[in-house]
């Protein structure tokens, strides 16, 4: 569990907060996980929106709460928890009603959530190559300097190397973009994982068996993001595609992963331009 120590936190006011407070962004895939969970559990929580497009996650205020500068971040009665899957497990332990960890499978589920989390930078790479079109590098040198030097820079009281990984990603994106080879490598990882999940769904309605779990929440969000980026899920993994359609119809899920109308129009134009250029995710990674 990634629960911060008091010395990791510089925005001290949050230490006195009561109840559940979630720092999140509507289109953040990891934030969507948490909101789906909270919907299913019917929990009350306070919303604190952090606009990643405006780099609000790199302000002294937010880096003082989460030195990694990432959403979602949960403040639970003054305790600060970071990393979406750890937050899910923490909240599941706090609020076990409507169980989302299959009985006897907590350790196995933790391992499977790590497999999903290990693909996060691959998801981000495919998103920036085929979905988002920022007019300028998302993080300039000044932003990255702020990132490196603001906040405690520690997690659990020790220097946090995760920050370096984030900074390296943004530097590489600014210098080189997402090359065809990077995109292909990322897509191949998802193809392998989706093939595995497709096989599991042959014998059960959900990824870990007969009941909807935290793992289903995690993957439904990733799959939705890749569909938006143009991943040919229906062609390559038809059973998983149908499963995704069923999960999207859930009232606790659908509204959280739905795009606002204006954003949907922008992304539709982006995908159409890629089609005309023959530069879609399918063209580059899974040509016919």
pLDDT digits (tens, 9 = 90+) for 208-235: 999 999 999 999 999 999 999 999 999 9
Detail the DSSP E strand segments found in the chain.
Answer: 20-24, 46-49, 73-76, 79-82, 154-155, 158-159
Reported as a single tens digit per residue, the pLDDT across 82-121 is 999 999 999 999 999 999 999 999 999 999 999 999 999 9
pLDDT at site 2: 84
The pLDDT of residue 263 is 87
Q: For residue range 117-167, what is the model confidence (pLDDT) as tens digits?
A: 999 999 999 999 999 877 777 888 899 998 999 999 999 999 999 999 999
3-state secondary structure of 136: coil
109-285: in CATH 3.30.530.20: no
* Secondary structure class of 40 (helix, strand, coil): helix
Contact between residue 194 and residue 237 where contact means Cβ atoms under 8 Å apart? yes
Distance, CA of 185 to CA of 163 (rounded, Å): 23
Per-residue pLDDT of 52-69, as tens digits, reads: 989 999 999 999 999 999
Phi and psi torsions of 155, nearest 5°: -135, 125
Domain assignments of the chain as residue spans, ordered by start: 6-104, 109-285
Asked whether the whole model's pTM tops 0.85, one would answer yes
Least confident of 43-47, 147-151, 280-284: 147-151
Dihedral pair phi/psi, residue 150, rounded to 5°:
-105, 150
> 202 - beta bridge partners?
none
Report the Cα 139 to chain-centroid distance in Å.
19
Q: Is the N-terminal amide bond of 72 cis, ω within 30° of 0?
A: yes
Residue 31 confidence class, pLDDT cut points 50, 70, 90: very high
Residues 6+ apart with CB under 8 A from 186: 119, 122, 123, 125, 126
| Gap between the Cα atoms of 164 and 160, Å rounded | 8
**What is the per-residue pLDDT for 182?**
97
Yes or no: say if 35 and 24 are a contact pair by the CB < 8 Å rule.
Answer: yes
Place domain 6-104 in its CATH homologous superfamily: Glutaredoxin (3.40.30.10)
The residue written with tokens 């403040």 in the block is: 75
What distance in Å separates the CA atoms of residue 103 and residue 275, rounded to the nearest whole number?
46
């Amino acid at each position: 569990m990634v629960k911060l120590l008091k010395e990791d936190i510089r925005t001290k006011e949050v230490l006195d907060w009561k109840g559940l407070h979630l720092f999140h962004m509507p289109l953040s895939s990891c934030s969507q996980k948490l909101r789906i969970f909270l919907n299913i559990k019917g929990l009350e929580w306070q919303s604190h929106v952090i606009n990643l497009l405006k780099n609000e996650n790199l302000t002294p205020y937010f880096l003082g709460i989460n030195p990694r500068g990432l959403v979602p971040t949960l403040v639970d009665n003054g305790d600060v928890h970071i990393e979406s899957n750890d937050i899910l497990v923490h909240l599941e332990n706090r609020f076990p009603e409507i169980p989302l960890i299959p009985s006897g499978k907590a350790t196995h589920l933790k391992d499977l959530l790590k497999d999903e989390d290990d693909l996060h930078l691959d998801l981000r790479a495919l998103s920036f190559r085929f979905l988002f079109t920022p007019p300028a590098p998302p993080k300039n040198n000044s932003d990255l300097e702020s990132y490196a030097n603001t906040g405690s820079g520690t997690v659990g009281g020790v220097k946090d190397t995760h920050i370096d990984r984030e900074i390296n990603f943004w530097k590489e994106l600014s210098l080189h973009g997402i090359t065809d080879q990077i995109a292909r490598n990322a897509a191949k990882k998802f193809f392998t994982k989706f093939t595995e999940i497709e096989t599991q769904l042959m014998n059960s309605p959900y990824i870990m068996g007969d009941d909807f779990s935290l793992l289903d929440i995690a993957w439904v969000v990733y799959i939705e993001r890749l569909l938006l980026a143009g991943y040919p899920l229906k062609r390559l993994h038809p059973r998983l595609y149908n499963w995704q359609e069923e999960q999207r119809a859930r009232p606790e899920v659908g509204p959280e992963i739905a795009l606002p109308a204006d954003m949907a129009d922008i992304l539709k134009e982006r995908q159409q331009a890629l089609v005309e250029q023959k530069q879609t995710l399918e063209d580059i990674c899974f040509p016919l």
